[in-house]
Structure 1
Amino acid sequence: MPVRLKKLIGTVLLVALVIVYAIVATIVAVAQLSESGPVVHLLFFLFSGLLWVLPAMGIIKWMIAEPRARH
């Protein structure tokens, strides 16, 4: 796969990941944390704010991986 195409696909995937992740995290926060205290809110948003990095790292590693040599 050409490098430019991989980077385009990866960029679209990253944008989609951030949008979907933000919506899901917001839905979970509204549904589950409405009666929780500030410490629970802090922990949830700290955890959920860092959790999206794991799938993003996978996408970025895939984007920058060298193409396999063809024999």
Structure 2
Amino acid sequence: MRETPTWRIPIGIIGLLIGLTVYGVVIARYAPDIIGGWPTWVQTIIYLVLGLIWLLPLKRFLIWMETGRWSPPESTD
């Protein structure tokens, strides 16, 4: 556990908010033009995937915010 505050957490939160905003704007701007004529069930699957895909890099990003490294710490079992 940390004893002192770190700059990575507020910067990480701001970066996450900016990144998600940019991602959301890009999806909202371009996805309807591309998949708008597709069947509704296909659009639903695409939007579900696009709504969850941003979670893929989140684990490493949160690890960096807490530890300053991009990979999980080595286990010392």
Indicate whether the TM-score tops 0.5. Answer: yes
Q: d(CA) in 2 for partners of 1:11 and 1:21?
A: 15
Higher helix share: 1
Structure 1: stretches of 5+ with no match in the other structure: none
Q: Which runs of 4+ in 1 moved over 3 A?
A: none
Paired residues, number: 66
In the alignment, which residue of structure 2 is the partner of 1:15? Answer: 17
TM-score where L is the length of structure 1: 0.78
Q: Percent identity?
A: 24
In the alignment, which residue of structure 2 is the partner of 1:47? Answer: 49
The code of the aligned residue for 2:36 comes to: S
RCO (CA 8 Å, sep 6+): is it higher in 1 or 2?
1
Q: In angstroms, what is the RMSD of aligned CA positions?
A: 1.9
TM-score where L is the length of structure 2: 0.73
Structure 2: stretches of 5+ with no match in the other structure: 70-77
